[in-house]
Amino acid sequence: MGAHLMELNNNLPLVLSVPELASVLHIGRNAAYELVNSGKIRCIRIGKNIRIPQSALMDYLNHTD
């Protein structure tokens, strides 16, 4: 894992909401929902709430070309 990703990893909460994911990735909220709904980023659904584990975000960033 690159130094930038390790620093990001240390500054993130264990789970993120979709708006938080959008903010971290500097993308729109709709684009963040697309990543989650397409399965490109793993998520946990708790009732109507969607949470993204920190590890799922790091997996996505490590495997993105």
- 21: CATH: 1.10.10
Q: Residue 7: exposed, middle, or buried by beta-carbon count in 10 A (0-12, 13-18, 19+)?
A: exposed
pLDDT at position 5:
60
**What is the total count of domains within the chain?**
1
Tell me the residue range of the domain where 35 lies. Answer: 3-63
- 1-24 tens-digit pLDDT: 566 666 666 789 999 999 999 999
Instruction: List, in order, residues 6 or more apart from 36 with CB less than 8 Å away.
Output: 18, 21, 43, 50, 52
pLDDT of residue 13: 94
